[in-house]
Amino acid sequence: MSAVVKALFVLLLAAPVVYGVQYTVGDTSGWSSGVDYGAWTSDKNFTVGDTLVFSYDTSHKVDEVSKDDYDSCTASNVIKSHGGTTVTIDLSKPGTLYFICPTPGHCSGGMKLKVDVTEASTPSGSPPTTPASSSSPPPPSGSSSPGTASPPSPSGAASIANSMMKLAAGGSVVLATLLLHYMG
């Protein structure tokens, strides 16, 4: 019986533990015209294991494109196209991903998203940090065009939750190691 318990603990230690954060693109505004997606990503740290959820109406789509197509707002070499009204994208490897709305005029109007994905880190014992809020002040009242109101500043709760989950995962690995040591 002891050998079976040891084998289970070894499997627990060998299995990768990845907990990710689910980000709703554009927060409550979703994937729509009039959202500043550069500002939306500015305080987020996307890591492997996180997911992006695009929610939009039928006048939009989500195309994953190359950097060149992102920069020029063309969908000539689409990597992947998503229809419907909701799509979830798994951030499965480090690197930069580019998304645009291929509806004519939408990308050039700002419906484009660049996401830099980093490798998921293991807990290092340092306390989680709260991301800084957006550094740009809100526009003076009356200066915003209709339909371009920016969403409220994120609270950083997603990043804190991600750090806490990673810390808990690291704690379970330490606990399993201690149990294996003392049972052996």
Find out whether 166 and 118 touch, Cβ atoms under 8 Å: no
pLDDT value of residue 75:
86
Q: What is the pLDDT of residue 127?
A: 45
Cβ distance 32 to 60 under 8 Å? Answer: yes
Residue 15 counted as domain residue = no
Residue 1 lies in a domain: no
86: in domain: yes
At 181 the pLDDT is: 56
Does residue 116 lie in a domain region? yes
Q: pLDDT 10s digit of each residue in the chain, 184 long? A: 566 556 544 444 444 455 799 999 999 999 999 999 999 999 999 999 999 999 999 999 999 999 999 999 998 889 999 988 999 999 999 999 999 999 999 999 999 999 999 998 755 444 444 444 444 444 444 444 344 333 333 444 444 444 444 544 444 444 455 445 555 5
What is the number of domains present in the chain?
1
CB neighbours of 83 closer than 8 A, spacing ≥ 6? 61
Q: How far apart are CA 184 and CA 165, in angstroms?
A: 29
| CATH code, 41 | 2.60.40.420
Q: Is residue 176 part of a domain?
A: no
Range of the domain at 75: 20-120+155-168
Cα angle 123-15-52, degrees, rounded to a multiple of 5: 65
Q: Is 3 inside any structural domain?
A: no
**pLDDT value at position 120?**
83
Q: What is the model's pTM?
A: 0.59
CA distances from 141 to 43, 137, 138, 148, 154 (A): 24, 12, 9, 13, 20
Helix runs in the chain, H state only: 2-14, 37-41, 67-72, 157-183
The answer to whether position 76 is within a domain reads yes
Q: Which residues pair with 46 in a beta bridge?
A: 117
Distance CA 88, CA 99 (A): 13
Tell whether 161 is covered by a domain.
yes
Tally of helices (H runs) and strands (E runs) in the chain: 4, 8
| 100 within 8 A of 112, measured Cβ to Cβ | yes
Q: Which pLDDT does position 73 carry in this prediction?
A: 95
